[in-house]
Structure 1
């Protein structure tokens, strides 16, 4: 074994352990969706796979999982679009408008503090405000809440990408008679496409997985996938296998998004560091 291979061995072992810590719970959850309740509770290592749990979750007359799936897609896409648009405009303003330095630093510090607050701590306040304006149990209320939750992260990410756009390009556009909307649309946005992709994907995934606020602001008609999964734990029975099957189905959009757009995420998140 060469010296180089020997020195890289601890790194490979660490990466393998990290991959196992991530993949083993996922594999266990997916496998549990193909088991019977008795087999799962008895801890059988070998079992005969069944598909009734997925059929129960998807097609049962008492299940609203497909409705919840649709709700999550609507809320995830709408909140992502709203969040990314606002974050891009805020990033452009912070980096290109003539704000005092202390104002920019104070704003970014506040967004970081807000991002550190657990969503469950804000859920009751948001429910009170949503009920006061008639937005409880509506997509609008949940979309606004999710966009607000993810806005600090989106602003920080987009601020990096906007800051790295050479100002000389904007100055040249101004000399050609371009106004601010034209500069933003035709100069800034094409150059920060990887950042937009990375921010959009992360925002969508965080919205898809959010539970506490969705549980507080929704009811049966507007409940999202995480809320639907939690409903399998009832007072006198916990339907572990159906819960595992629904959790496995809930992973599909996030996995597909990550597989399709992985290169955009890597490029977007490393673009600022490389520059």
Structure 2
């Protein structure tokens, strides 16, 4: 049944409006990176694009942005790998092993409650624990923190994807002599590849953007990109244009990942809705 023309038009207008709301700040940020500080503060509508801000951010002797970029990639990739592995094992256990129903419900409720706590509320606790075991200002401490922060939503997503795998396939593998680890590796994981990709991408982006815990647990040599961007706000001056240039550069990994893996994200997030 076709939609009425007026309903279809309103839907498309609403989608365009939502897209503008999302895209406009990104366009403004990228544009600000090509302006001078005076031009931006004066609010000039027209300007001559310059590359000075990007050169200063990337190649200045006083800038550590490339180091921060490397740090974010290391922390993002390793925390995502750790988080997705643990989330997959936990979700498989909740769905396939014989746990009492109340245990599963309490565990999932706890994960959601933990996920609702803002990271800034946990930053001081993370720093105290990391310092107690000698992991402050280390990649290991930040990787463990980011993996833990993203674990609740990752468990929920993986639990949904694994729940959609027909149990008959696993039972057939068991009858053929497959152990539980082999069932997970050879039967379940190949069937939930889109969901696995979607969970990994969302976890990586969350780790890449995390600021509060990274600010608390890192120093100069281990600081990540969000911490580096915040440093452009100094005591007596805010370097808006360099901050915008660094923010534009910070968008690139997430943008590239989303463009390359867009179909996996869509398939993964809709896998639970369509069998």
- Kindly provide the CA deviation profile for residues 224-273 of structure 1, in whole angstroms up to 9, marking residues without a partner as x: 00000000000011000000000000000001000000000000000011
Alignment-derived partner of residue 100 in structure 1: 100
Alignment-derived partner of residue 174 in structure 2: 174
Give 1:17 shift: 1.1
1:128-139 pair list within 5 angstroms:
128-139=128-139
Alignment-derived partner of residue 158 in structure 1: 158
- Determine the C-alpha separation between the residues in 2 that align with 1:86 and 1:28: 39
Partner SS for 1:259: helix
Give 1:3 shift: 8.0
- Kindly provide the CA deviation profile for residues 130-175 of structure 1, in whole angstroms up to 9, marking residues without a partner as x: 0000000000000000000000010000001111111111111111
TM value normalised by structure 1: 0.98
Partner SS for 1:273: coil
- Determine the C-alpha separation between the residues in 1 that align with 2:95 and 2:107: 12
Alignment-derived partner of residue 7 in structure 2: 7
Gap runs ≥5 in structure 2? none
Alignment-derived partner of residue 42 in structure 2: 42
Moved over 3 A (4+): none
- Kindly provide the CA deviation profile for residues 100-129 of structure 1, in whole angstroms up to 9, marking residues without a partner as x: 000000000000000000100000000000
Gap runs ≥5 in structure 1? none
- Determine the C-alpha separation between the residues in 2 that align with 1:167 and 1:208: 36
1:190-205 pair list within 5 angstroms:
190-205=190-205
Alignment-derived partner of residue 147 in structure 2: 147
- Determine the C-alpha separation between the residues in 1 that align with 2:99 and 2:257: 37
TM value normalised by structure 2: 0.98
- Determine the C-alpha separation between the residues in 1 that align with 2:15 and 2:144: 38
- Kindly provide the CA deviation profile for residues 21-69 of structure 1, in whole angstroms up to 9, marking residues without a partner as x: 1111000000000000000000000000000000000000000000000
Alignment-derived partner of residue 117 in structure 1: 117
